């Protein structure tokens, strides 16, 4: 079983950038496809981005395409989410998740979740 811990959240002004990290322990990150999700207050959790175990394929929600970049360093057991041109509507708790099956938009594909990191974008 893999444990996931997110970091890098915080308060940033609109137009700014943040880089989230998700560190894995317990098992090798290379065994999993990885995803980032977010949940804003009063809203359902939504897909942000996903990446295959090798890093060769990545997927983005329309809301994050062109602004966010997902990447991974299996040697460091870490997945990243670079977020640029942040908007107030990006404010949410961001979660990373690991899948034993496939990288995808549905949260039901993912088996393990981190505790989340808060991202707040001020206008």
Give the per-residue pLDDT at 18.
Answer: 98
Q: Which two tokens stand for residue 57?
A: 């394929």
Nearest to 89 by CA among 56, 63, 51, 66: 63
Those residues whose C-beta lies under 8 Å from the C-beta of residue 47, and which sit 6 or more positions away, are 35, 37, 61, 105, 106, 107
Give the per-residue pLDDT at 102.
Answer: 87
Note the pLDDT tens digit of each residue in 22-46.
999 999 999 999 999 999 999 999 9
Which of left, alpha, beta for 23 (phi over 0: left; psi -120 to 50: alpha)?
beta
Give the per-residue pLDDT at 10.
Answer: 97
Note the pLDDT tens digit of each residue in 83-117.
999 999 999 999 999 999 888 899 999 999 999 99
d(CA 64, CA 47): 9
Tell me the backbone φ, ψ of residue 76, rounded to 5 degrees.
-100, 0
């Amino acid at each position: 079983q893999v444990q996931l811990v997110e970091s890098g959240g915080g308060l940033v002004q609109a137009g700014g950038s943040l880089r989230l990290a998700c560190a894995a322990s317990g098992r090798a990150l290379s065994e999993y496809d990885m995803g980032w999700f977010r949940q804003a207050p009063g809203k359902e959790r939504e897909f942000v981005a996903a990446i295959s175990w090798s890093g060769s394929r990545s997927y983005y929600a329309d809301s994050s395409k062109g602004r966010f970049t997902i990447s991974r360093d299996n040697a460091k057991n870490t997945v990243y989410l670079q977020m640029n041109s942040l908007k107030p509507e990006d404010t949410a708790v961001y979660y990373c998740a690991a899948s034993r099956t496939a990288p995808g938009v549905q949260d039901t594909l993912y088996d393990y979740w981190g505790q989340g990191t808060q991202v707040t974008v001020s206008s």
